[in-house]
Chain A
């Protein structure tokens, strides 16, 4: 038996865009155990709920995370709409799907870039981010923001996508799809990339089930769980199918995310086809929330759960958020056991960690 030592990893580390601290117990080059220590980004924004008007609190919730900001806003408005029984107009529901899927694309492209960076393929990193900028441009054109969109409101949306914009989006999506396909070849077929990803950090279906993994992490292990199958917003009309892979290694997770980009492009196209040509953008909301509601939606990183509770006052009494990364951190500790030290950056990135969501 080799000598055991503890290597601290983070909070400031070149591969980590966000601070997380791991104590890695290593034996020679093998990881025996990983003990995560989180809390560097904890702000306590759930605690602001009782101090803010429920309409205005939306803007705080959106700032839980700058990558999945649209998803957080969506979950929050869904939970309030659930309490107040608001019927969201048809067109607004489709617009929400369009934005949610485009946000998913930016997030997955960003992840591909980070992963490429983690295994030292700098030009691939830049390529992924270049494509991502194109999606961001579309987001900026339609919502006015690159990362924080603020287009949602309780009962609908604030902005519309005009026919001109729609045409531009569809044109650009063709281009984005073409470029992503080209990049995909490198990610999935390149020999040197495969040596870094294949068989690294295997999470079996049983393990994924036991630790409660969600999102692409679980889907790469063969569990077809995707909240979009619930058919919230307009997903029920779009014929949604989850993307699943079986191997459970880093390569499978990469494959799932890449295929989800294409699935998202397809969903945006279909949403534009089915969307009513005109219609209201939001329903009127009267009164204050009285009751409680759980909303579950699929974020780019997995299932997020939003709980709101109000008692007829303009301010909510309680707001609670369970984010996908929180569930996946357990899976991370599982995959780190027995891994090579050199694979740690890839393994951390492969769960697509969003620490600021997790710590709120």
Chain B
């Protein structure tokens, strides 16, 4: 982990997890593992969060909730999928109500595998997220400096260059 200048705030949302990963995320934040020593703070407020951690897959009912949480977070933001369910749907992939992993609804940056994901690997994911967040906020600051007074990218879905490409692809597919 390189030098980080900011302490990102962490928002945790439980998609349709079985609670296993959910509790492990909390265990990671309690003193035995203590992810807070890397500068992250757990928050319950999406408007102030920088890193979104999603546990569990996405189903019909929580898809709009996850989407809304993601949209409410200020840019730049990093999304971490914790657990096999969030990565791909896991054991519940074939259930009738599931849409799939978390990436079916929001773009994911970091995938933490495991069923249940172990606190050590979640910590690894958090460290990667902190690093990525630092990189993105540097880019963001750079952009602000170069385009002083201009409005930033307006589309709230565009977070990274990769999303931009993805959006364009989707647009192209819709036009065709």
Contacts and interface: CB of A to CB of B under 8 A. Distances in A.
A276 interface: no
Interface of A: 11-15, 17-19, 39-45, 47-48, 51, 59-60, 63-67, 69, 110, 113, 125-126, 129-130, 133, 145-148, 354, 356-357
B7 interface: no
Given A40-B16, A69-B20, A147 B116 contact: yes
Nearest to B65: A11
Nearest to A37: B61
A66 B32 contact: no
Contacts of B98: 43-44
Given A17-B19, A47-B96, 16 more contacts: A13-B44, A17-B26, A18-B22, A19-B14, A39-B61, A40-B61, A44-B96, A63-B90, A65-B18, A66-B17, A66-B21, A66-B23, A126-B30, A129-B26, A146-B116, A148-B115
Nearest to B21: A66
Contacts of B13: 12, 19
A349 to B, nearest CB: 14
Nearest to A46: B95
Given A44-B95, A129-B27, A130-B32, A148 B20 contact: yes
Given A47-B96, A130-B30, A146-B116, A42 B59 contact: yes
Which of A67, A69, A129 has its CB near the most chain B CB atoms (within 10 A)? A129
Interface of B: 13-24, 26-27, 30-32, 43-46, 56-57, 59, 61-62, 65, 69, 90-92, 94-98, 115-116, 118
11 contacts: A15-B44, A19-B13, A19-B65, A40-B62, A41-B62, A44-B95, A60-B92, A126-B31, A133-B32, A145-B116, A148-B116
B69 to A, nearest CB: 6
Given A14-B44, A19-B65, A42 B97 contact: yes
A66 B65 contact: no
Contacts of B20: 63, 65-67, 69, 147-148
Given A42-B61, A133-B32, A14 B45 contact: yes
Contacts of B69: 12
Contacts of A146: 24, 116, 118
Nearest to A150: B115
A48 B69 CA distance: 30
A356 B19 contact: yes
A40 B68 CA distance: 14
B108 to A, nearest CB: 18
A147 B43 CA distance: 24
Which of A42, A59, A130 has its CB near the most chain B CB atoms (within 10 A)? A42
Contacts of B94: 48, 51
Contact of A48 (B15, B95, B116): B95
A254 B21 CA distance: 25
Nearest to B98: A43
A344 B15 CA distance: 23
A133 B61 CA distance: 33
Nearest to B115: A148
Given A13-B44, A66-B20, A41 B65 contact: no
Contacts of B92: 43, 45, 48, 60, 63
Contact of A66 (B95, B96, B97, B116): B116
Which of B23, B46, B69, B95 has its CB near the most chain A CB atoms (within 10 A)? B23
A299 to B, nearest CB: 13
Nearest to A132: B27
Nearest to A19: B14
A69 B27 CA distance: 17
Contacts of A51: 94
A148 B116 CA distance: 7
B10 to A, nearest CB: 12
B62 A11 contact: yes
Which of A17, A51, A63, A357 has its CB near the most chain B CB atoms (within 10 A)? A63
A43 B59 contact: yes
B14 A18 contact: yes
Contacts of B46: 12
A160 to B, nearest CB: 23
A81 B69 CA distance: 45
Contacts of A148: 20, 115-116
A36 to B, nearest CB: 14
A161 B69 CA distance: 45
Contacts of A48: 92, 94-95
Contacts of A66: 17-24, 116
A67 B19 contact: yes
Nearest to B84: A63
Contacts of B23: 17, 66-67, 110, 147
Nearest to B83: A66
Q: Which 9 A-B pairs have the closest CB atoms?
A: A66-B20, A14-B44, A66-B19, A129-B30, A44-B97, A44-B95, A41-B16, A43-B92, A147-B20
A43 B32 contact: no
